Amino acid sequence: MAEKSKILVLGGTGYLGKFIIEASVKEGHPTFALIRETTVSHPEKSKLIESFKSSGVTLLYGDLSDHESLVKAIKQVDVVISTLGGAQVNDQVNLIAAIKEAGNIKRFLPSEFGIDVDRHHAVEPVASFFAQKAQIRRAIEAEGIPYTYVSSNAFAGYFLPTLAQQNVTTPLSYPIFLTD
């Protein structure tokens, strides 16, 4: 039986990360989550972090802006999965530098979950965002880091509750007109 990969998840308390961590644990991989120390005191995320601990996840404290903490965390694992949200996509440059310095990663999955940014026909403002993600891809490739890009298209569960209207926090209600 092949040895299980040690997996580090960044963005583990976010929308996708919690599911990636759950799946990794379920498959028997030693699973690590890099979290900020301030996240532990977040009212909602603290419960999620406690569930990680109880399922055997190793919590590592660090931050994308702290190169030393990134390198230290990466040296403990074989695979890095980034599930960072859109606002942090460019911060993956710091992660790439840390992976390169650590020199031990067998596979890196950057935060790519969505449209294939090298094969799209998007218009602004999303085209600029996809260009940023494409730059991250080029940086990974330039550093020679083994990678896998996961392009899964859109997640309906993310958009449906607000019908793709940004900053809306509750489902919209529209009048329904019935006719005979």
**Catalytic annotation, residues:** 133
Structure tokens at 128: 């600029």
Burial-class residue 21 by CB neighbours within 10 Å (0-12, 13-18, 19+).
buried
Annotate 80-138 with DSSP letters as a single string.
EEE---GGGGGGHHHHHHHHHHH---SEEE-S--SS-TTS----TTHHHHHHHHHHHHH
DSSP state of 5: P
Instruction: Answer whether 84's CB lies under 8 Å from 12's CB.
Output: no
* Location of structure tokens 């529209």: 174
- Please name the residues in contact with 24: beta carbons below 8 A apart, sequence gap of 6 or more: 7, 9, 31, 81
